[in-house]
Amino acid sequence: MFILGISKLMLKAETMSLQRMVKVKVWSTDVRVLEDFISRIVDIVKKSGVKMSGPIPLPTKKLTIRTLKLPHGEGKKKYEKWEMRIHKRLLYIAEDERVMKQLIRVRVPPEVWVEVEFL
């Protein structure tokens, strides 16, 4: 009896590992647009009933540039600081043909970049 229980657990683990996942990495410089796009993806996945984990927020990357202001004689040197933040989210979605077709039809805003990887 005990051996049968272990074999059932092993069989269940094998079927779970056989389910392929899709890794969707989304990033943007505008947080509101990014969150709106992610919410549309999550709505599609939840309506279809497919397993999903995420959205997982990844660390925000800050790109800063300091430039020298135009000189006006022999005064102090003054700098301008420019900053751009890149916000990232990560989704893992179980591979399903219907869901993938719906996700392809979602309009991607110009400020958002999407990378899809099959695991």
Calpha distance 18→94 (Å, rounded): 11
Q: How many structural domains comprise the chain?
A: 1
Let me know if residue 48 belongs to a domain. Answer: yes
Residue range(s) defining the domain that contains residue 88: 20-70+78-118
- Tally of residues, the chain: 119
The answer to whether 50 touches 99, Cβ cutoff 8 Å, is: yes
14 CA to centre of own chain? 27
Q: What is the pLDDT of residue 50?
A: 86
In single-letter form, the type of residue at position 33 comes to V
Let me know if residue 3 belongs to a domain. Answer: no
| Tens of pLDDT, residues 55-101 | 889 999 999 998 888 766 666 778 888 999 999 999 998 888 888 88
Q: What is the pLDDT of residue 4?
A: 47
Q: Backbone phi, then psi, for 92, in 5-degree steps? A: -115, 120
Let me know if residue 111 belongs to a domain. Answer: yes
